[in-house]
Structure 1
Amino acid sequence: MGAVKSIFSFRGNRPAGDGEAAEAQAATAQEEQGGEAGEASGVGPSQVGRKRKASPEGHPDKVPPKKMAQTKSRAIFESLFLRGENSDIRIRAFEEEWCLHRVYLCRSGYFASMFSGAWLETNMDVVEMQMPDKNIDCESFYETLGYLYSNNIAIPPNRVIAFLATASMLQLDELILQCEEIMKVSVNVGTVCSFYYSAENYGLVDIRYICHQWFLDNLMIRQNSELLRGVGLDLMKELIASSDLLVIGVEIDVYTTLKKWMFLHLEPTWSGSQEALLAAADLYFDEYKTNSDGTPFLETDLGRAFGPVFQQLRFAYIICDLPSARIIEQDAVIPATWLTPIYKEQWLMLIQAEQSRELGPTEVYMSEIRGNSMRCGGQLDADEPCSWSWSGFNFAWDLVVSYTNRCIVFRRSALNKSCGLSVSLLWQRRVVFRLRVISFDGTGNAVLRKDTGYQVLCLRRHQELEVINLEGQELSFPMYVACNFLYISEDSDPRQYGQSSRSPRK
């Protein structure tokens, strides 16, 4: 911020009319004719069209051209912008006034349009400016005006939104690109919300994508109160609906996250630790249930706005686990009318899995997978062997996931105690799966990302399959293993999944 302070010490510039200013003003006139060529060659505006001066020894000046250009540019900046010498226009904003020059202001598309044509301000000597964007402040506006004189500006990452807003209003494409580059390397838990919504407002497609991917990767593992408060309804709906959401745990954990998120939007002034957040949310909804005679919260006037977000939950993978089903029932947040058809579908699938001899899907239909796959995951804290299984998948299908010798392995194991309640232990089973392995740096940006894509897995009893090999990869821990599973019965009614069984593959 040192450069910023040195500039602000000259903010109250005043017009003058002699000495260095005359030379600078002549340079601006020359620049209108040949300034672009001068800048392209690295020569400062006051040098365009001039002969090189000799040094006192009679030899050509040995000052490097780049340094000479910087010296001249600095002299122009100080005399014309900081001191306002030979000003021909005054700009008023934020209760301040700056003496400036049309020839430099017209480098901005905004001012170029203002000073040409039939606008009211075209021939005015004093222009009063009202800022249409609340993100623009006095400092960013003043610094950006200085950029028009120097083509140089220092933008701290924590101030980039203000400069982006100012550059967008003044139609400075190069400065917008500079802001975009700063944002790309500054996405973290403290900036991602403001960056995402700013990218939407100012049309930064790449930044929006980067932030959206950050949310998908980190929402479930790096959440805090400020982050959850910053995510709006439409964005949360989009994230919860995505099969790319990195779920560490199972689907009930997504529901728990939504419950905390909704509580923070209803009680924006709440403060406390992350450990206390869930308890506070449970207490809030329990009191509301008592006071509303048991009406499901999402059917009340207060909760109805959150309904479309909660509808994106994959309830089929919540109610198939008894403790999770009891949480849903006790909270009384979800209307029973949402769950009754899902219980029926799950019961029919249970009977079919037990009484039919079908093995599972033979092809991958992306239209069936999107929005329907089970999302689950685990965390590896060190490069050491470990294994786990997810209960509830296809009625406790006997699938064990192992990490050993830098490999992720799927294994069917009917002897595993955690799979002892499996309903259907056919000798051979098929299932659609996708597995991702991801590691992050301290800001939540991926440093390792491996993805199998969607495949059909076919295993016999006690058979195992190496899914991902990480040998030779530079691993950092914790490392996250995320899975998507989908078992679609060949005899199932395709309308259950909202898609045709003959949908073309993508």
Structure 2
Amino acid sequence: MGQMTSRLRYPLHAYTGSVAEIITGRKRKRNEDSDSSNDENNSALEKSLSTPKKKKLLTTTQYIYQALYKEEKNSDVTVLALGKAWRLHKVYLCQSPYFFSMFNGSWKESCQDFIHIRIADNKITLDALEAVFGSFYSDEIEIEPKKVISILATATLFQLEGIIDKCSEVMTETTNAETAIDYYEAACQYGVQNAKKAAFEWLETNLVGYYFKYVKYLKLINEELITALLSSPNLYVFQTEFSLYILLRLWMYLKFFPNYKPDDDFCKLPGNNPQTYFAERSDKTPFLHTADGREFIKPFQALRIQHLLNHNIDLKLVVQDNIIPMEWLHPHIMSHWSSVLKVDHYAEEGPKDLQEEIFLKNSMRCGRVLQDPSYQKWRWTGFNFGLDLILIADSGVLSIKRHHRNEYERLLSLKNKRQFMIRVTITSLNEQRQRSYSQTTGIMSLELEKNEDVSLLMMHPKLVHPLLISVNLLINPPIPELKPITENSSEEKNSNPISDIGENLSLANNGNSSRSNSPTRIGAGESDDRNNNVVGNF
């Protein structure tokens, strides 16, 4: 007992805790803290009990959809289409202008409870009708990309602008290699401008760079579409304009031989591929003058023929194929020769400040793929009337240089300054090969001295490699527009075969009609990049 009492350092009245606390010398939290904590707990509990809890039940829309559409309760009209009957309700069908005018006008259907809709459009399917009729009873519609065209066709029939807009959104978002052609044709048929624009833009970007390598898609393009694409100044061309001639020749060959497969050994034999088929015809009449070839005149007229004749091998191939009539080539050859004679002997200036339409219609289109951001320098070869232009990509800056070396002066223009016009567009693509970001210089009129360079643009950070470089370039003033060649021109045949024009032309590769695979060195880090593959690895 003495030991216990010895620990009482203070009088007992000074202690407010229990006996155990007094004896052990420990104190717990004050009662005030405990009371405060209890008050907070009570407040939180009271708040949780007074806050209403919302639980989602079957909504009115869901009830309407289930009871009136799925279970067909209280139906007042039966609609028969494509062999299936739907028991529906006029008040809901009248959301469609098609049905509204039917039930509220002087048509006999206005007082009938059975409507037979005869559908002539084969793109409209039962699944599409099911989805569209169901949308009358709901606030949403499910549109699968594989079914979007049939739903678009159905919505167009019933004049449902809301669904047409949603179909357009789906088509724009899902335009890719599989869908681009079908989307474009459907958008043209049903007047959906946004979807049409998106599909055409995709085809402009990928016709040469992608479809060239996949003939299963290329052969699906119709004459009207291929003509529009080849005419477009915004077409992304890989290498030079000559790649478009090669692509068009392949496209035309596929119209006659749709089962052609480039990797098939049989198709590599002479006469079994587009590289040899046209050149080895026994008929020496230009192919576009034949009965089989006349239907392809418009696509070939869309080619910018003046830009197909800037290299000896290109000219030789055009002559050997004997597809294009000589009278199409002759004016451009004469124009080229005239420009060569005048380039250093007259004070005539190059193109400058032309109207946009004139520039885009006459410029040479060429392109390249930049796989990575490393330093790169290149030119597009061919005779450019003594003007040797080199493009340089370095540290996110794209520049152009007028290259002039004394040892090549016999081939280059001696003028101190040369004028030309150019537009450069740089594009990066997303996983569907849609343009994710594009940057352009706009149309520029430049004047460069020998070995002078100038920056064209600083690449935006949103441009992600690999990049597509598309260039429109005009070195000579455009020649007056030539008289269009029509089908009737096939009756006017030149007495000399077209092959005579290239009789004395020689190939650099000893008769091989393909273009050289070996780059021509033009200086440190500079290469020609002309090869047999007219598309980039992209």
Fold equivalence (TM over 0.5): yes
* 2:467 pairs with 1:482: no
CA-atom RMSD, angstroms? Answer: 2.7
Residues 398 and 422, structure 1, Cα contact 8 Å, conserved in 2: no
Equivalent positions of 1:382-461 (< 5 A) are 382-415=372-405, 422-461=411-450
Q: Secondary structure at the match of 1:434?
A: strand
Change (3 A) 1:453 1:282: farther
SS in structure 1 of the partner of residue 168 of structure 2: helix
Task: State the shift of 1:233 in Å.
Answer: 1.3
SS at match of 2:426: strand
Distance 1:271 1:128, change over 3 A: farther
Q: Aligned-pair distance for 1:277?
A: 8.1
Q: 1:79 to 1:273 in 2, by over 3 A?
A: farther
Output the amino acid matched with 1:495. P
The one-letter amino acid paired with 1:326 is K
Percent of aligned pairs with the same amino acid: 28
User: 2:215: which partner in 1?
Assistant: 225
2:298 to 292, 305, 308: 308
Shift of 1:282: 6.8
Residue of 97, 121, 138 corresponding to 1:109: 97
- Output one character per residue of 1:290-329: Cα deviation in whole Å (capped at 9) or x when no partner: 4542221111111111111111211222112001011101
- Is 1:173–2:173 an aligned residue pair? no
Match of 1:186 among 169, 174, 179: 174
Matched residue count: 432
Could you say what secondary structure the match of 1:347 adopts? Answer: helix
Q: Distance in 2 between matches of 1:442 and 1:279?
A: 36
Q: Which runs of 5+ in 2 are unaligned?
A: 1-49, 484-538
User: What is aligned with 2:130?
Assistant: 142
Note if 1:495 corresponds to 2:465: no
Check whether the contact 2:237–2:365 (CA below 8 A) recurs between aligned residues.
yes
**Contact 1:88/1:101, CA 8 A, preserved across alignment:** yes
Partner of 2:245: 255
Give distance in 1, aligned partners of 2:431 and 2:208.
15
Contact persistence 2:249–2:274 (CA under 8 A): no
Q: Deviations over 1:345-399 (max 9, x none)?
A: 1111111114224442343333431321111111111110111112225235121
Match of 1:195 in 2: 183
Please report how far the alpha carbon of residue 271 of structure 1 lies from its aligned counterpart in structure 2 after TM superposition: 4.5
1:28-39 equivalences under 5 Å are none
**Which residue of the partner structure matches residue 469 of structure 1?**
458
Which segments of 5 or more consecutive residues in structure 1 lack a partner in the other structure? Answer: 1-58, 499-506
Q: Distance in 2 between matches of 1:60 and 1:385?
A: 65
SS at match of 1:355: coil
* Alignment check: 8 A CA contact 2:230 2:299 kept: yes
> How far apart are residue 209 of structure 1 and its match?
1.5
Deviation, structure 1 residue 274: 10
Higher relative contact order (CA 8 A, sep 6+): 2
Whichever of the two has the greater Rg, that structure is 2
SS in 1 for 2:182: helix
Alignment of 1:116-127 (within 5 A): 116-127=104-115
Native 8 Å contact 2:202 2:433 kept in 1: yes
The within-5 A match list for 1:237-276 is 237-271=227-261, 273=263
> How far 1:93 sits from its partner (Å)?
2.0
Partner of 1:16: none
Instruction: Read off the aligned partner of 1:324 and give its amino acid letter.
Output: D
Q: Is residue 72 of structure 1 aligned with residue 60 of structure 2? A: yes
TM-score with structure 1 setting the length? 0.79
**For 1:276 and 1:191, how far apart are their aligned partners in 2?**
30
Q: Kindly indicate whether the alpha-carbon contact (under 8 Å) linking 2:311 and 2:382 is maintained by their aligned counterparts in 1.
A: yes
Indicate which of 141, 144, 152 corresponds to 1:153.
141
Relative to structure 1, the CA distance from residue 125 to residue 176 in structure 2 (aligned partners, 3 Å threshold; closer, same or farther) is: same
Tell me, in whole angstroms, the C-alpha distance in 1 between the residues paired with 2:311 and 2:334: 15
Whole-angstrom distance in 1 between the partners of 2:52 and 2:121: 48
Higher mean C-alpha deviation, range 198-207 or range 227-236: 227-236
Q: Given the two structures, how large is their TM-score scaled by the length of structure 2?
A: 0.75
Q: Which amino acid aligns with 1:349?
A: S
Query: Which residue type is aligned with residue 385 of structure 2?
Result: F
2:299 maps to a residue whose letter is V
| Residue identity in the other structure for 2:140 | N
CA contact (8 A) 1:372 1:497 kept: no
**1:423 and 1:414, CA in 2 relative to 1: closer, same or farther beyond 3 A?**
closer
CA shift digits 1:42-73 (9 cap, x unpaired): xxxxxxxxxxxxxxxxx999646xx45x5232
CA contact (8 A) 1:435 1:452 kept: yes
Contact residue 110 and residue 170 of structure 1 kept, 8 A = yes
Tell me if the contact between 1:105 and 1:148 (Cα under 8 Å) persists in the aligned partners: yes
Distance in structure 1 (CA, Å) of the matches to 2:115 and 2:271: 52
